[in-house]
Amino acid sequence: MILRKSMLNRYLFTVFFSGILLAGYAQQEERRDERPATIDSIDVVRDYRPILADAVKIRRSPDMTNKREYQPKLTYNVLDKKLDITTGTKQLTIQEMPFTRMEDLTNNYVKIGAGNFGTLLGEAYFSTDQFVDTRIGGYVKHLNQKGSLEEQTFSQQQIGVFGRRIFDQITLNGELGFNRYATHFYGVVNDTLGMNMNPNPARQAFNDIYFTGELTSNFEENDPDAISYSLKADAYAYSNAFQAKENSVALGGYVNKRINAFNIGANISGDFTTVEDASYRLGNNIARLNPYIRFQGTNYNITLGANFVAEFGDSSRTNIFPSAEIDFALVPQFAHLFGGINGDVNKTSLRELSKENPWLSEDISIRNSLDRMHVFGGIKGNAGATFGYKVQAFYKRIESMPFYMNSPYSPYAFDVIYESGEDASTIVGLEGEVNVRVSETVSLGGKVNFNEFDLQNEEEAWFLPKMRIAANTRINISDKVYVDGELLFQGQTYGRVYDYPVDPMSPTMPTSRKVTIPTFVDISAGAEYRATKQIGVYIRLNNMLGTAYERYLFYPRLGLNVIGGVNFSF
């Protein structure tokens, strides 16, 4: 009996299990498509979802940083080319393709060169990026030239170290450097008898020790309510051969809080500057507070705020300016309409004035100018990484606009004068900029500025052009040959010259008259041949038209000058 019951139980279990299998098979048969299978038909049962085991997952995010951004922008202050005019146009930033390393890149290079006019050039750049989150380096530069006029000499040296460290929450940047620029007052000025009034050109030299550092919070993309902030410090000690000194310490920062589609924040800064010359000592300090609220949507960005600016030191003044901007995507990614209104105090510093015009007199006057109203608007956009543009019109009302004027006592040197009057002077302007990448090997860029001045006191905006055009191009002819070119066009400007009495002991003051400084065009070009991955040969031609044009009266530029040499990367 026991054996029979055991066998019966086994038969029942087998029958039950077989029934389940048949039912499952029947369900599969019901779901099967009745179409005949062909070689090009595919039945998709579910989406493909690749799954990696934990053992093969990469736990470190890839480093997509473009390493080129760590290299500081190193520029030459070559007088034959440089034309510094404050126009308000900012560098147009276009969307770039993600940087891809096609070959092993080098972090270090040495460059040497020589040319006519006694030109000697030396440059070296060193850096290390052995660590993903750390970058440190340094650079040294030397350039000197000598023209055909008496003491028409130029010399520039730069040395600096820099570093960056990226932490989980913040990023630290810093740079410490020294710049030196030397020249002479080589301007030739003759009196009514044709005698040179500047027989022994005085020497001028500028020394600039500077430091800049910044702490910035890292962007939190996944946190809609993140707080971003930044702290920055700038300091410099500046001096010239006349024993004039300018020391400055500037501290600033911002904080921004995201709340859904809103941003609430503030910018705050303090600039503490002391200027000393032979006959005076001046404290020129500026404090700013700029609270704002920003409304940000998919196709618009509106910022509303105010700018509180207080000047204190030897003189005190407080101003409140409006601060409002709007950016609307007319065609997202292709065309944005923008506009705004603001105002600010523009610091006048010995450092910036002498960089623009190194032939300044002693005891120059220092006075800040005010943008009482700055209204601007235009259109900008880009098309991927190949085309970017910006067109902007603006209107400014400025108090105490600075100009350079030849000194009546030393006409080969320049004083700084300021536009004055009961009402502010106005500037109406139009600015345009375009960057085009024609192909992987050809890129073009250009900027144009038109300004119309309405002054209250001065007859002209001395040495400021109404029109200026700049263009550049770069062509990669092959993997080994690169060509680039630059064009600079400036419309006519105006200055004042003085007619001196024949008798130098005469108490009669010299009389002045307006003169026109002609339009000029400066074309430069360069080429480089990469003989190997480490060694390259280059040549550079500046002022190819060979015209000794004048940016400032009595100071002609060098003619055609050629620089050639080699560079070595490692």
Judge whether 51 lies within some domain.
no
Interval 57-82 mean pLDDT: 42
What is the distance between the alpha carbons of residues 33 and 28, in angstroms, rounded to a whole number?
Answer: 10
**Taking a C-beta distance cutoff of 8 angstroms, is the pair 518, 542 a contact?**
no
Measuring CA to CA, which residue among 552, 197, 238, 185 is closest to residue 404? 552
In a domain, 10, yes or no: no
Structure tokens given for 213:
């550092």
- The verdict on residue 250 lying in a domain is yes
CB 359 within 8 A of CB 551: no
Could you please report the per-residue DSSP string of 539-550?
EEEESTT----E
Phi, psi of 25 (to 5 degrees): -65, -40
* pLDDT of 21 strictly over 70: no
Question: What's 340-395 look like in SS3?
Answer: EEEEEEECCCHHHHHHHCCCECCCCCCCCEEEEEEEEEEEEEEECCCEEEEEEEEE
**What is the distance between the alpha carbons of residues 542 and 526, in angstroms, rounded to a whole number?**
9
Asked whether residue 3 is domain-assigned, the answer is no
Residue 229: CB partners within 8 Å, gap ≥ 6?
A: 216, 217, 253, 254, 255, 256
Would you state the pLDDT for residue 223?
74
What domain range includes position 166? 65-569
How long, in residues, is the chain? 570
Average pLDDT rounded to a whole number, residues 419-448: 91
Q: Is position 491 within any domain? A: yes
pLDDT at 533 over 60: yes
User: What pLDDT sits at residue 104?
Assistant: 54
On the CB side of 254, how many CA atoms lie within 13 Å of its CA? 13
Looking at residue 397, its pLDDT comes to: 96
Task: Please tell me which residue, 566 or 499, carries the higher pLDDT value.
Answer: 566
Q: Do the beta carbons of residue 310 and residue 287 sit within 8 Å?
A: yes
Query: Tokens at residue 404, please?
Result: 């350079």
Tell me the average pLDDT of the chain: 84
Per-residue pLDDT at 511: 82
d(CA 274, CA 315): 13
Q: Of the candidates 487, 562, 488, 492, which has an alpha carbon nearest to the alpha carbon of residue 527?
A: 562
Q: What is the per-residue pLDDT for 514?
A: 94
CA distance 524 to 507: 48
Predicted confidence (pLDDT) at residue 51 exceeds the cutoff of 70: no
Q: Which of 56-60, 131-135, 413-417, 483-487 has the lowest mean pLDDT?
A: 56-60
Pairing between strand 493-499 and 262-276? unpaired
Domain assignment present for 56:
no
In whole angstroms, what is the distance from residue 125 CA to residue 140 CA?
Answer: 7
Q: What is the DSSP letter of 480?
A: S
Task: Provide the token pair at 81.
Answer: 């080319």
Cα 222-228-233 angle, rounded to 5 deg:
145
How many Å apart are CA 235 and CA 247, to the nearest integer? 8
391 within 8 A of 89, measured Cβ to Cβ: no
Phi-psi region of 215 (alpha: psi -120 to 50; beta: other; left: phi over 0): beta
pLDDT digits (tens, 9 = 90+) for 332-385: 879 999 999 999 999 999 999 999 999 999 999 999 999 999 999 999 998 877
pLDDT of 4 > 50? The answer is no
Query: What's the number of domains the chain is made of?
Result: 1
121: CATH: 2.40.170.20
User: Who's near 186: CB < 8 A, 6+ residues apart?
Assistant: 147, 149, 150, 151, 152, 153, 198, 201, 555
Within a domain: residue 59?
no
Does the structure show a pLDDT above 90 at 319?
A: yes
Contacts of 185 (CB under 8 A, 6+ apart): 151, 198, 201, 202, 204, 359, 412, 413
Question: Minimal CA–CA distance to 430: which of 469, 484, 476, 388?
Answer: 469
Residues 294-305 pLDDT 10s: 998 889 999 999
In a domain, 390, yes or no: yes
Q: Which residues contact 452 (CB under 8 A, 6 or more apart)?
A: 427, 428, 429, 466
Give tens-digit pLDDT for 84-105.
Answer: 434 344 444 444 444 444 445 5
* Residue 541 binned pLDDT confidence (cut-offs 50, 70, 90): very high
pLDDT in tens, 182-197: 999 999 988 777 788 8
Selection from 29-33, 132-136, 407-411, 535-539 with the highest mean pLDDT: 535-539
Distance, CA of 429 to CA of 467 (rounded, Å):
10
Query: For a pLDDT cut of 90, what percent of the chain falls above it?
Result: 67
In this prediction, residue 164 carries a pLDDT of 95
Stretch (H or E) spanning 173: strand 170-184
Q: What Rg, from alpha-carbon coordinates, does the chain have?
A: 33
